[in-house]
Amino acid sequence: MNVQHLTLHVPEPQPCFGGTADFSGFRLSDAGRVRRPAIDVEASEIRDLAYELVRVLDADGHAVGPWSDACTVDQLRSGLRAMLKTRAYDARMTMMQRQRKTSFYMQCTGEEAIACGFQSALKAGDMNFPTYRQQGLLIAQDWPLVDLMCQVLSNEKDRMKGRQLPVFYSAREVGFFSISGNLATQYVQAVGWAMASAMRGDSRVAAAWIGEGATAENDFHAALVFASVYRPPVVLNVVNNQWAISTAQSVAGGAQATFAARAHGYGIPALRVDGNDYLAVRAAACWAVERARRNLGPTLIEWVTYRAAPHSTSDDPSKYRPQNDQLAWPLGDPVERLKDHLIGIDEWSEVRHVQLKAELDEEIAAAAKEAQGFGTLVEGSKCSPASMFDDVYKSMPPHLREQRQELGF
Amino acid sequence: MPSLTMIEAIRDAMDVMMARDDRVVTFGQDVGRFGGVFRCTDGLQGKYGSSRCFDTPISESGIVGIAVGMGAYGLRPVAEIQFADYMYPAYDQIVSEAARLRFRSAGEFSAPIVVRMPCGGGIFGAQTHSQSPEALFTHVAGLKTIIPSNPHDAKGLLIAAIEDDDPVVFLEPKRIYNGPFDGHHDRPVVPWSKHELSETPQGYYTVPIGEAVVRREGAEVSILAYGTMIHVAEAACRAVGVDAEIIDLRSLVPLDLDTIVRSVIKTGRCMIVHEATRTSGFGAELSALIQEKCFYHLEAPVVRVTGWDTPYPHAQEWDYFPGPDRVGRALIRLMES
């Protein structure tokens, strides 16, 4: 009798280390081709969109199709500025980490359009539950750079009092929930926050954030079940930047079905969007946020992008992916694409672009100088060690008071 | 004052708080329409509507996860985990999220949530319906852990827990839901109505979190216990005629160390009784604290009477459960040592 010997399928990353970056298997939808559904569409009517890619900017930088009218020129210039500022901030903080002024940093290079564009669709009072790569949500709101830097430097002005790893910000007043670091846990919390908003008859919406790798976590699925059952005002963002540290998106299940398609099993409407196209990001974000605001329930959006930088300053991508693979990435660079578009419609120029970059560099250098004046992880002042006993509980129980005394405070 | 069972007292606490504060909501598996498998939320959906008392999908992580989000929003969620044995999928949400949110955000956000869960054995629930995981919570900075032993305390402590600004794990010993079980499983069930601590004030009152209470004053030995074991310890003392001081801890974190130390210094002997497994159980923490604070007053080593370090068995339940015979024998040995 013939026996079929079984074999195990272990996905290989695309592009592979050692080879040249090859994205020929990546299927693009033409810009402007994907329809824009009615705001109250049923999930079942747009299942095909989970396998398309909402794109507005074509190869020549023209804005085309039904998603192309979401932005005014001022909004686009403001988006360009937010992305450039985010990129310059990342560069500066990476340098400060290399100078050993802090322990760790995480850039969002190549992904700036997603956070910056999404934030522009929200209103004051809405709440993001971000991951560690959504600094653009804060920078797009012009949250003070010195404040962000002091957190990264863990110095005396760090609002988190030196407790959190660098980049794990919290800024309640601008709708930025404290970053956990345990993946996916906050996805379901965003659903709970949105349920509370609905239970109270409020008008505020929540935005959940997760990377494609962490969609494998239980909490992602718990969040989708609860969002499906109670239909709270939440946008479920999945940032697919292709890499979970060194693990390709195929190991998270991305080769069998898109991450957007995961919403189908839960009856949640889903879009798959070019995350490197600021116009597409803003249009899709406005669509999903409006659905939430109008009590039409949750929307899942897969933002397709590419992590152009290492996972963090502790990572070395040369060990697992081809050099300069981000240059071969078919969706290009979000900053360059928006810049080309604005220049193409005579609303921007190379000269103004260079000027703006210089202005931002200056602003960031000044902020860095000010922030370092309050100390760095290795030099200058930090929050007192006594403060680590604060905020464990609202009021300090006797055993913590005793331990604080034991430490000498 | 009306005489209530533990179940009625717990339901009454939620009822009182839902009426007083429209931010209080409750949810969990079978909690809404059915009113909970132990009936602790019976009638609350009818009274307060399905957006304040509702059924959830079978996802403990989801139940506690949405509670954290609701708490951060400004509500006062009371989440029910159907059995403490099922809380493990929620452990990450409890430990990494609820317990640390205030600290990691330097007070910007907090999770003022209560996670209720029936715990303990004595109902032939075997290893999936009998566990006492309190030490898994007391080990976590940022959590408060409470275990009441009677209806009066259950209501007052649950109201205090709902009003508390920190996350509270509220463990409900299910064997004493309907009567003060003293471990004599072969004797007729005694109802709460015959017990003075079933007398429960109507309306709002609190029992402060972090205060132990002396259940029985005594001179010869201090017994530290909580939940069902209070009733077991009382029965054991009656049976062997030892004049023990029984301290009902009620709140494990924060712990009322002053009451414990005062008693052990007075009696010079100490026994700790809990249903949970022994190794790294809460008794180990108590024992270490007594060694640190009362060493020179001790006449004998601290003794622990606990569940064995095995999974909770089914057919062998009464060999596992630290009942009055085992506690009584250990008491006699302690008094002789």
Average pLDDT for residues A310-335, to the nearest whole number?
93
CATH of the domain at A351: 3.40.50.970
Average pLDDT for residues A255-264, to the nearest whole number?
96
What integer pLDDT is reported at residue A12 of this predicted model? Answer: 81
- Same domain? For B171 and B224 the reply is no
- Same domain? For B173 and B255 the reply is no
Q: What is the 3-state secondary structure (H, E, C) of A389-405?
A: HCCCCCCCCHHHHHHHH
pLDDT in tens, A372-402: 999 999 999 889 999 999 999 999 999 999 9
A394 touches chain B (CB under 8 A): yes
Of B198, B232, B254, the residue at which a domain comes to its end is B198
The total domain count for chain A is: 1
A20 is a domain residue: no
What integer pLDDT is reported at residue A16 of this predicted model? Answer: 63
- CA-based nearest distance B92→chain A, Å: 8
Q: Nearest by CB to A188, which of B61, B103, B255? A: B61
Give the pair of three-digit tokens for residue A342: 């604005």
What integer pLDDT is reported at residue A14 of this predicted model? Answer: 67
- Same domain? For B248 and B163 the reply is no
Rounded to whole angstroms, what are the CA distances from B1 to A95, B199, B201?
70, 6, 5
Contact list in A for residue B210 (CB cut-off 8 A) is 397
Of B198, B223, B241, the residue at which a domain comes to its end is B198
Q: Which chain B residue lies closest to A223 (C-alpha atoms)?
A: B62
Average pLDDT for residues A181-186, to the nearest whole number?
95
Rounded CA-CA distance B134/A57 in Å is 57
- Same domain? For B30 and B159 the reply is yes
Residue A15 has pLDDT above 70, yes or no: no
pLDDT in tens, A271-316: 999 999 999 999 999 999 999 999 999 999 999 999 999 999 999 9
Q: Nearest by CB to B65, which of A222, A390, A398? A: A222
Rounded CA-CA distance A72/B15 in Å is 52
* pTM of the full structure: 0.97
B267 is a domain residue: yes
Q: How far apart are the first and last CA of chain A?
A: 78
- Same domain? For B285 and B328 the reply is yes
- Same domain? For B15 and B164 the reply is yes
Cα–Cα nearest to A333, from A287, A389, A275, A279 = A275
Contact list in A for residue B73 (CB cut-off 8 A) is 127, 192-193, 196-197, 200
What percent of chain B lies above the pLDDT cut of 70?
100
Which sign does the torsion angle of CA A129, A132, A136, A142 carry? positive
Of B167, B198, B229, the residue at which a domain comes to its end is B198
Give the count of alpha carbons within 13 A of B256, CB side only: 20
* DSSP class of B268: S
User: What amino acid is encoded at B203 in this protein?
Assistant: G
- Same domain? For B190 and B217 the reply is no
Rounded CA-CA distance B295/B136 in Å is 27
B1 is a domain residue: no
- Same domain? For B104 and B38 the reply is yes
- Same domain? For B123 and B41 the reply is yes
What integer pLDDT is reported at residue B131 of this predicted model? Answer: 97
- Same domain? For B277 and B188 the reply is no
Which sign does the torsion angle of CA B274, B282, B171, A220 carry? negative
Q: Count other Cβ atoms within 10 Å, centred on residue B316.
A: 12
B314 noted as active-site residue: no
Contact list in B for residue A392 (CB cut-off 8 A) is 102-103, 141-142
**Of A13-22, A279-288, B324-333, the least confident:** A13-22
Interface test with B, best of A393, A401, A403 (most B CBs within 10 A): A393
- Same domain? For B65 and B177 the reply is yes
A94 is a domain residue: yes
The total domain count for chain B is: 2
Q: Return the C-alpha torsion angle A134, A140, A145, A147, nearest 10.
A: -70
- Same domain? For B318 and B280 the reply is yes
Residue A258 has pLDDT above 80, yes or no: yes
A291: containing domain: 43-310+322-378
List the B24-28 sheet strands across, edge first. B53-55, B24-28, B76-80, B114-119, B168-173, B144-146, B251-253
A72 is a domain residue: yes
Residue A53 has pLDDT above 70, yes or no: yes
- Length of chain B measured in residues: 337
CATH of the domain at B273: 3.40.50.920
B203 is a domain residue: no
Interface test with A, best of B55, B104, B109 (most A CBs within 10 A): B104
B289: containing domain: 213-336
Rounded CA-CA distance B62/B81 in Å is 11
* DSSP class of B98: I
